[in-house]
């Protein structure tokens, strides 16, 4: 009997339906898997045989097993097909008295251990979402993946511990095990964050970081070693608004595909903060590999990418950031196709004053890359007397700043409710023309500033976006000259780069 079961292959963040066709005719011997399967899939032959025998199931010795993973033009990667192949063998050989037609709306995903237990698989959330979109009613996954799959409403999730339990559940001999969803625990991240009230001095830098958080703008901090750049970057995390449910699901999908999702954390609820060392390669930044995986810019999606010592990064690494900063996504092209990952992050970069000439510095960091940075901040060392003073230092806390950031984001959310953007930094040229009208005085100041500072068209647009965020922070409906003037000062130091 020919058996067909459903599974999925994940390519980037998209999952494609794969039909696992199993045929076990009599009078022949052997075990063949076809359908563009990689080495890990081919090795399933050994795992399945041991898993069936150690689970008390009958393995069809002396019979020919042929498995086709369709469609054949999609590369099948990893051990996720172990479970559907094993069940298909049991049904086709007659060892399991079950009509495969009753499983036509069920998806099977899982790796088998030699003892028959089911092991965790990656990229489960994209599979569950794709299964629901395809009209599937239920999904069978390893126990450790149950909570992740349960994030998708409208899909019955069965999460057995092993193959034997799975067989009993689908044959309705026992009830499906209940899925244990861990309570959302408070992350240790919040306890380790630097509070802005603990950062002495640097009032202008704090103001710039508040603007960046409110509008999703990119920041470059330039200052001497020990001036507080890294401290400010760590404090920046504490003034970013919480992830929305939709954003959490997007981030969780990326971490699931990258196999970085902790087993006890089915949903990422903290904004990512990825700190990258200057020795990182371009592949680790943008992602890649034979089966492309997300890189640091995608792991920072809806969060922060922190690049310390920016000028020390190789030129080719810095240049690969240009397009993602503009498009907020990255496309990785390989011989067998292209994969696109989201990369909507806030870039926070820091560097020390160069010990070499300004001309060399210009060659090190290209003008197009610098043009994509919204706020350029000079960080001056704090006077030692202020630093060592025992008197209570009066400064706003991160929670106070966060309150204004959340209010500004709410204004933007209302403004962009019919658009596919969420913060001011994402506005395009048409959005600026429609949503950011300027009065005559502001228009004159913009023109004068662009001419005096030699800014590009992109630089001019970034000033308007910054001004819009500054206006949002002060609860103003219209951009006025004071907002433009403050925005210009954050672009002014670009001319010395």
List, for residues 372-420, the tens digit of each pLDDT value. 999 999 998 876 665 656 554 567 899 999 999 999 999 999 999 989 8
CATH number, residue 403? 3.40.50.300
Residue 447 class from Cβ within 10 Å (0-12 exposed, 13-18 middle, 19+ buried)? Answer: exposed
Residue 293 counted as domain residue: yes
Residue 358 class from Cβ within 10 Å (0-12 exposed, 13-18 middle, 19+ buried)? Answer: exposed
CATH number, residue 491? 1.10.8
* Residue 69 near residue 35 (C-beta atoms within 8 A): yes
Same domain flag for 144 and 255: no
Same domain flag for 443 and 405: no
Same domain flag for 324 and 214: yes
Kindly report the pTM of this predicted structure: 0.90
Q: Which residues of the chain have pLDDT under 70?
A: 182-192, 335-336, 354-364, 383-394, 492-497
Same domain flag for 159 and 242: no
Residue 493 counted as domain residue: yes
| pLDDT value of position 493 | 56
Residue 26 counted as domain residue: yes
Q: Total domain count for the chain? A: 3
Residue 323 φ/ψ, nearest 5 degrees: -70, -45
Residue 254 counted as domain residue: yes
Same domain flag for 304 and 448: no
Handedness of CA 202, 208, 212, 218 (dihedral sign): negative
Residue 418 counted as domain residue: no
Domain's final residue, options 170, 204, 222: 170
Residue 21 counted as domain residue: yes
For all residues of the chain together, what is the average pLDDT?
Answer: 90
List, for residues 15-52, the tens digit of each pLDDT value. 999 999 999 998 778 999 999 999 999 999 999 999 99
* Residue 240 near residue 213 (C-beta atoms within 8 A): yes
Residue 177 counted as domain residue: no
Residue 416 counted as domain residue: no
Same domain flag for 370 and 473: no
CATH number, residue 65? 3.30.230.10
Same domain flag for 362 and 445: no
Same domain flag for 219 and 321: yes
| pLDDT value of position 359 | 44
List, for residues 89-146, the tens digit of each pLDDT value. 999 999 999 998 999 999 999 999 999 999 999 999 999 999 999 999 999 999 999 9
Measured from the Cβ of residue 414, the count of other Cβ atoms closer than 10 Å reads 8
Same domain flag for 467 and 351: no
Domain extent for 469: 427-497
Same domain flag for 264 and 332: yes
Domain's final residue, options 139, 170, 201: 170
Domain's final residue, options 110, 140, 170: 170
Same domain flag for 62 and 105: yes
Same domain flag for 80 and 49: yes
CA 157, CA 151: separation in Å to the nearest integer?
Answer: 10
């Amino acid at each position: 009997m020919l058996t067909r079961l459903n599974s999925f292959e994940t390519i980037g963040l998209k999952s494609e339906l794969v039909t696992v066709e199993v045929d076990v005719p009599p009078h022949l011997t052997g075990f063949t898997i076809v359908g563009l399967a990689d080495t890990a899939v081919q090795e399933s032959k050994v795992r399945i045989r041991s898993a069936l025998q150690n689970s008390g199931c009958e393995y069809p010795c002396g019979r020919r097993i042929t498995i086709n993973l369709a469609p054949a033009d999609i590369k099948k990667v990893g051990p996720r097909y172990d479970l559907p192949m094993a069940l298909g063998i049991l049904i086709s050989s007659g060892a399991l008295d079950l009509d495969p037609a009753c499983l036509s709306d069920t998806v099977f995903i899982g790796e088998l251990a030699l003892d028959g237990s089911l092991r965790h698989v990656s990229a489960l959330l994209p599979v569950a979402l794709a299964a629901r979109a395809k009209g599937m009613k239920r999904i069978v996954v390893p126990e450790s993946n149950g909570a992740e799959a349960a994030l998708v409403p409208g899909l019955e999730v069965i999460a057995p511990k092993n193959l034997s339990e799975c067989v009993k559940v689908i044959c309705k001999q026992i009830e499906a095990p209940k899925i244990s969803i861990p309570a959302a625990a408070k992350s240790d991240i919040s306890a380790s964050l630097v509070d802005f009230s603990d950062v002495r001095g640097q009032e202008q830098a704090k103001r710039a970081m508040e603007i960046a958080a409110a509008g999703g703008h990119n920041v470059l901090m330039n200052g001497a070693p020990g001036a507080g750049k890294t401290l400010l970057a760590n404090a920046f995390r504490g003034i970013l608004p919480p992830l929305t449910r939709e954003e959490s699901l997007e981030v969780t999908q990326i971490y699931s595909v990258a196999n970085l999702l902790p087993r006890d954390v089915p949903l990422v609820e903290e904004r990512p903060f990825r700190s990258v060392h200057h020795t990182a390669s371009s592949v680790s930044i943008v992602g890649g590999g034979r089966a492309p995986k997300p890189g640091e810019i995608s792991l920072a999606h809806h969060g922060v990418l922190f690049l310390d010592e920016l000028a020390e990064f190789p030129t080719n690494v810095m240049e690969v950031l240009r397009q993602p900063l503009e498009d907020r996504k990255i496309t990785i092209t390989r011989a067998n196709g292209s994969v696109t990952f989201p990369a909507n992050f806030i870039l926070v970069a820091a560097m020390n004053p160069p010990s070499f000439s300004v001309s060399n510095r210009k060659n090190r960091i290209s003008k197009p890359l610098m043009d994509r940075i919204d706020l350029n901040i000079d960080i001056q060392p704090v006077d030692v007397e202020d630093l060592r003073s025992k008197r209570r230092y009066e400064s706003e806390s991160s929670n106070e700043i966060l309150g204004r950031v959340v209010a500004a984001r709410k204004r933007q959310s209302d403004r962009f409710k019919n658009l596919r953007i969420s913060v001011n930094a994402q506005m395009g040229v048409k959005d600026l023309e429609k949503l950011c009208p300027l009065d005559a005085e502001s228009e004159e100041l913009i023109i004068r500033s662009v001419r005096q500072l030699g800014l590009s068209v992109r630089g001019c647009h970034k000033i308007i976006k910054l001004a819009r965020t500054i206006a949002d922070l002060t609860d103003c409906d219209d951009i006025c000259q004071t907002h433009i003037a403050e925005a210009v000062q954050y672009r002014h130091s670009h001319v010395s780069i």
